A and B are shown apart, each in its own frame.
Chain A
Amino acid sequence: MIAFVKKYEGLWLFVHSPAAIIAAIVAALIFVGAVFAPWIALVNPYDLASFSLFDGLLPPAWEDGANPKFILGTDDQGRDMISSILYGARLSLVIGLSALSIAAVLGVGLGLAAGYYGGRFDAIVMRIADVQLALPAILTALLIDGIARGILPASIQQDLRVAVLTLAIALSLWVNFARTARASTFLQMNKEYVQAAIMMGQRPTRVMFVHILPNILGPLLVIMTVDLASAILLEATLSFLGIGLPADSPSLGTLIRIGMQFLLSGEWWILWIPTLFLVALVVSINILGDFLRDVFNPRLR
Chain B
Amino acid sequence: MVYFILKRMVQSVFVMLAVAFLAFSLFRFVGDPITQMTGVETSVKDQERLREELGLNDPFIYQFTRFTGDLLKGDFGFSYRTRQPVAKMIASRIPATLELGVVALIISLLVGIPAGVYTALKPRGVLTQTILMTTLVGVSIPTFVIGIMLIFIFGVQLGWLPTFGRGGTVQIGGWESSLFSVDGWRALLLPAITLGVYQLTLTMRLVRAEMTEVMRSDYIRFAMARGVPTASLHYRHALANTMVPVITIIGLQFGGVIAFSIVTESVFQWPGMGLLFLESIRFVDIPVMGVYLVVIAFFFVLVNLVVDLLYVAIDPRLRIKDVS
Chain A residues in contact with chain B, CB under 8 A? Answer: 131, 134-136, 138-139, 142-143, 145-147, 149-151, 229, 233, 236-237, 240-243, 256, 260, 263-264, 271, 275, 278-279, 282-283, 286-287, 290
Contact = CB atoms under 8 A, between A and B. Distances in A.
Contacts of B284: 146, 149-150
A139 B262 contact: yes
Most chain A CB atoms below 10 A, which of B145, B277, B286, B300: B145
B30 to A, nearest CB: 4
Contact of A150 (B30, B145, B293): B30
A134 B284 CA distance: 24
Given A135-B255, A263-B156, A290-B136, A237 B148 contact: no
Contacts, number: 92
Given A139-B262, A260-B148, A243 B156 contact: no
Contact of A136 (B156, B256, B282): B256
Contacts of A242: 282
State the main secondary structure of chain B at its contact with A: helix
Interface residues of B, number: 36
Most chain A CB atoms below 10 A, which of B142, B256, B262: B142
B260 interface: yes
A290 B205 CA distance: 14
Nearest to A282: B140
Contacts of A143: 289, 293
A26 B270 CA distance: 35
Given A134-B255, A151-B30, A286 B140 contact: yes
Contacts of A275: 145, 148
Contacts of B289: 143, 146
A133 B227 CA distance: 44
A69 to B, nearest CB: 28
A287 B136 contact: yes
The 6 closest A-B pairs by CB, nearest first: A136-B259, A150-B30, A146-B281, A283-B140, A282-B140, A139-B259
Given A138-B263, A240-B144, 16 more contacts: A136-B255, A138-B260, A139-B258, A139-B259, A150-B30, A151-B31, A236-B142, A237-B263, A241-B263, A243-B281, A256-B145, A263-B148, A263-B156, A278-B142, A283-B137, A286-B136
29 contacts: A134-B255, A136-B255, A136-B259, A138-B262, A139-B258, A139-B259, A139-B296, A142-B277, A142-B281, A146-B280, A149-B284, A150-B26, A150-B30, A150-B31, A233-B140, A236-B144, A237-B142, A237-B144, A237-B263, A240-B144, A240-B263, A241-B263, A243-B281, A263-B152, A275-B145, A278-B145, A279-B140, A286-B136, A286-B140
A143 B288 CA distance: 12
Interface in B11-60: 18, 26, 30-31
B318 interface: no
A241 B266 contact: yes
B294 to A, nearest CB: 13
A8 B12 CA distance: 51
A3 to B, nearest CB: 33
B145 A264 contact: no
Contacts of A135: 255, 259
A260 B149 CA distance: 11
Given A146-B284, A229-B140, A279-B140, A136 B26 contact: no
Contacts of A147: 26, 30
Contact of B282 (A236, A243, A282): A243
A23 to B, nearest CB: 10
A260 B300 CA distance: 33
Nearest to B257: A136
A149 B148 contact: no
A174 B262 CA distance: 22
A145 B142 contact: no
Interface in B146-201: 148, 151-152, 156
B156 to A, nearest CB: 6
A70 B148 CA distance: 25
B293 to A, nearest CB: 7
B136 A241 contact: no
Contacts of A263: 148, 151-152, 156
A256 B30 contact: no
Interface in B118-152: 136-137, 139-145, 148, 151-152
A171 to B, nearest CB: 14
Contacts of B31: 150-151
Most chain B CB atoms below 10 A, which of A142, A151, A290: A142
